[in-house]
Chain A
């Protein structure tokens, strides 16, 4: 319309590549650190997880050794059968039968050993992995919330899943690589034993392969990683295209995105082709070296056989061993990168395990029981998240049993922190918080959780049925109790309208419910928990008036007969409270009931007369400060 002329000016560059556009994440994935292949500290930590399965490890190492020995023995038995049984002047049929019997025994042992080695080590490796993951998960249940606040869930997940999985490769292959080493030295030993001269000549190719691989490995590894990297980058862009498809279509960005994606896909194609070249170039090298060794055996060994220096069976055995002896070299050099990867994963895993647990039950902590009076008191509390930046300054107030107190104040005044302290999510810097007359640091966290129910501003639902979400960890709650609670908060009607009523499976985070509905379910959850004290952070988001009405009613029902500490945003809630506490910049500014505060003509009165629906809006304090962690 009016802007058409401006558009025309810019249309020139519009045919070019947009200067800033990207598809896919602009953040690089966690760089794969090239750590040391061996770090004794980390190995010790990993060993702690392996130790319970020590016996299995010994058994499987033994089995690997036996398995390798039988593999070494087979060409020797063939050689024996040829030279001592079939050759002219040999023992004839009897010796042949002995050889066959030996062969049968060997393969029987081979079968058992192969079964034992793989199954024992495979299962033990899985066990170790699952133990590690559980240890991390369990530890995370206890680390402080301030640490969790500054740590992305995605990063933790990549440690819990990704790093643990790369340990698996390491655990499985490290036992098998024992077998490779034994096989390699076994073959060298046997060849030298059969004929030192021929053995030495034949194996001359071996160091060549070693050297070639040493030069080949670093660039090859880089190319493999590049292929992996471009692959996840292209896949990331695809996932983004899927998740953001509505935005893409409504902003008509398809063309731009497609061109950018094509670039990514093409980079990925080139990286894969390059990696394939690196992987395949080893094939002719190994085949050539094998060919040289075999040709050597044929020429040198053949003449020795002709000259009766060695028996023909020895030559046959040599030819058999040659076909095998490059395998262990190949897998051993590969093993090096597996070690490196495992060390860096191990490091990341131990980092998680080493996160300090700041808040722990005192050794003599007592359980808070339902007998306590249900009062909450803040005595000269000073608290903050960062050094020298207190969020609460010397705050004191008391909530009497059965009373409802509303905390109001502008964003950043320290309301949410009050709430977290009642639950001892954090420890105060100074002063104390008491619940039922006891300092929260003197009671067990479990009992505190059972007596203080909490409703968060953003309702969080778990995957599972509605009933499971309402019941949460109060397993003693019967179905009737759950339904009663839902009825009490006015959630029953909409729950019954869902496909399977209370057994309806909620999508991730309750995606199939509206915000208001999720709120009501979280209310029901708090009601079922049936705690003496309720701490509630009212939602700020605007909910449609009808649901809003339901929520107001539910809130009333929820606070009946309980001590309530409510971070209030809505007028109706505030006016319904017995007492109001006004916080500003971490200090307690005013307190009293609505009339008293109105008479005072202070901040509360000012906010009230401005007639905003939410008390968070401070006209002179419009824009939020940058985020300083989730809690304010």
Chain B
């Protein structure tokens, strides 16, 4: 995995240079592109000359008479050859120009994907998924286009306009200046228009996103809408979002139209001037009709590239902002990674130990979440962890597979600090079943075997039996092949949680943590899962985190967490006898009468 490192080439340079450095990783293609561009431009510039020449021959201006026909044939053959050559080199220029971009994009895609997979939880906590998607899709696209629409066009335009201008002006100063007079205006106009259009495009996208969110929520929450007879309210919300977007869309049409029409006009104006002044010159004998025709032809050739100046400016602006974001992302420091010389975790006794662990989330460093938490769990033991929401009980689960690193103290497995072993080996040995997990849009079998895609079918079926999901699955028309996830069959909260449990069972971990992972499973099913799990628990350490006491009262040891510290510990009976917080919670859950509520408060 070195795609991210590869993109570090050119680090420290400005963004646009850095893109160039990445582009240069394909020197062969870049060279072919540039050479093709130069040749194509040269041939392109030759065409108006040949046309002018042909007209002059046909008027017999040069030699008059028989030689003229031969000259016409020669010119025609040359023109044909030039046209073909121009076509071929333009094709190579365009093709290789795009190919360079696509190859660079391919490498960047892999780097982005790799980076996303490696960045730690603390990063993903603070970044919206939408922003990452923007980096991986739109920003990458902006960088990809830079070579073809930016760099290449600079070469193209400077040759066409520069050499062309020299040729025109050296032929006739006044007429040359007139023929080029539209260029500054059109170049300026098109740059301004492109930049405005880009800015308004971004706003429009936001508005359309807003509109689609209104619709999506309406359709997703259609029962609420109907229940409150909110259709008119929703239509008003829709109209508000829609009208704003429509108004901006109209504005964009105006900007675009104004600029294309004006550009067109200024081009035709200079053409008219060339015709006028050139016509006078032809009349006074200073110039041949052929030269005039070649001026006019030249203008038509130049019109497109000049209009594209705006695209060029836009491409630079876009590559610069997109590149900034993309490189900032790729350059991020990864907080949790293998230490140099980390060795794979060796599980022998299977003992998990927390020693005076302190922890605060990186996003809120002042709020101490865990304070001096210590406990030990041996193979075959089950530890229950209970506490109010926000007491820090889930955090304990996050520290074992190093989703976050402890601030003080240490977490060890068989005496090895989790920070000293490789992440891959650690995460294979520690499974955390979380309350809400992600379902991938693929079939149920793949989802269960997500952590072990090599697994045999029987093992998958067994895991789902343990999780009390098997009977449900085989009742589906397509069984284990049923596609679930975002666009597949939707599972209920309880079913998702059971799938999640099955998924973790596939790993055969040494430490298994259930982080409130049966909250949405009904009590009866949970009971059955628990019974099935007993066999499983023999070979590993099991941690059960829950606020439902029935889930964990059979544990060998129960930890009661309050404000990040263990305030009570012992077995269920011991804690009941203690008559403390645990007891109060127990009373509250078993006898949910109002008196118990008051007492608990």
Contacts and interface: CB of A to CB of B under 8 A. Distances in A.
28 contacts: A20-B446, A82-B282, A96-B283, A103-B272, A107-B272, A130-B242, A140-B219, A142-B231, A160-B215, A246-B121, A246-B437, A249-B403, A250-B401, A251-B431, A276-B94, A284-B87, A287-B84, A294-B76, A303-B69, A320-B300, A446-B231, A472-B228, A473-B228, A535-B227, A541-B493, A613-B523, A623-B471, A626-B472
Contacts of A295: 76-77, 79-80, 83
B54 A118 contact: no
Contacts, number: 470
A545 B589 CA distance: 7
B117 A549 contact: no
B318 interface: no
A423 B441 CA distance: 34
Nearest to A472: B228
Could you say which of A82, A273, A552 has the most chain B C-beta atoms within 10 Å of its C-beta?
A82
A133 B242 contact: yes
A292 interface: yes
Interface in B317-363: 347, 350
B350 A1 contact: yes
Given A22-B446, A153-B220, 15 more contacts: A25-B486, A110-B264, A118-B260, A141-B231, A250-B403, A298-B51, A298-B72, A299-B73, A305-B59, A312-B55, A448-B229, A454-B227, A463-B213, A473-B230, A541-B520
A65 interface: no
A569 to B, nearest CB: 9
A388 interface: no
Interface string A216-245: 000000000000000000110011111111
A545 B600 contact: yes
A525 B233 CA distance: 15
B interface, how many residues as a size bin?
35 or more
A69 to B, nearest CB: 14
Contact of B256 (A93, A122, A256, A276): A122
Contacts of A22: 442, 446
Interface in A439-481: 445-450, 452-454, 456, 460, 462-463, 472-473, 475
B453 A21 contact: yes
Contacts of A126: 246, 249-250, 253
B58 A462 contact: no
A119 B229 CA distance: 40
Contact of B489 (A119, A570, A571, A627): A627
B454 A10 contact: yes
Interface residues of A, number: 171
A446 B493 contact: no
A1 B216 contact: no
Contacts of B468: 622-623
A590 B280 CA distance: 107
B485 interface: yes
A302 B224 contact: no
Interface in A81-98: 81-82, 85-87, 92-93, 96
Contact of A246 (B84, B216, B389, B438): B438
B221 A462 contact: yes
Nearest to A110: B268
A40 interface: no
Give the 10 A-B CB pairs with smallest separation, nearest first: A449-B229, A291-B83, A287-B87, A284-B87, A18-B453, A251-B451, A473-B233, A454-B227, A617-B524, A302-B58
Contacts of B235: 137-138, 141
A627 B489 CA distance: 9
Interface string A278-319: 011101111110111011101101110110000011011001
A261 interface: yes
Interface string A242-275: 1111111111111111100110011011001100
For the residues of B in contact with A, the DSSP-based class is helix
Contact of A137 (B80, B81, B215, B279): B215
A130 B231 CA distance: 18
A316 B56 CA distance: 11
Contacts of B539: 1-3
Contacts of B59: 305, 312
Contacts of A623: 468, 471-472, 475
Contacts of A499: none
B32 interface: no
Contacts of B260: 114, 118
A369 interface: no
Contacts of A87: 289
A612 interface: yes
A95 B265 CA distance: 23
A283 B94 contact: yes
Contacts of B206: none
A25 B235 CA distance: 33
Nearest to B90: A283
Contacts of B200: none
Nearest to A286: B87
Contacts of B385: none
Nearest to A27: B487
A616 B220 CA distance: 25
Given A154-B487, A294-B51, A294-B83, A26 B441 contact: yes
Contact of A261 (B113, B282, B434): B113
Contact of A100 (B79, B228, B279): B279
Contact of A456 (B227, B232, B485): B227
A111 B265 contact: yes
B540 interface: yes
A145 B87 contact: no
Contact of B524 (A153, A285, A529, A612): A612
Contact of A258 (B1, B69, B226, B268): B1
B279 A85 contact: yes
Given A100-B275, A280-B94, A540-B520, A288 B83 contact: yes
A549 to B, nearest CB: 5
A423 B227 contact: yes
Contacts of B201: none
B38 interface: no
Nearest to B229: A449
A93 B283 CA distance: 7
A40 to B, nearest CB: 29
B222 interface: yes
Interface string A121-163: 0110011001001100110111001001000111011001100
A109 B528 CA distance: 83
Contacts of B136: 235, 238, 242
Nearest to A265: B109
Contacts of A242: 116, 129, 132-133, 136
Contact of A323 (B109, B300, B483, B490): B300
Contact of A283 (B51, B91, B230, B283): B91
Given A96-B276, A544-B547, A617-B523, A145 B445 contact: no
Interface string B229-253: 1111111001100100110011001
B419 interface: no
A78 interface: yes
B579 interface: no
A357 interface: no
Given A18-B453, A306-B69, A472 B233 contact: yes
B154 interface: no
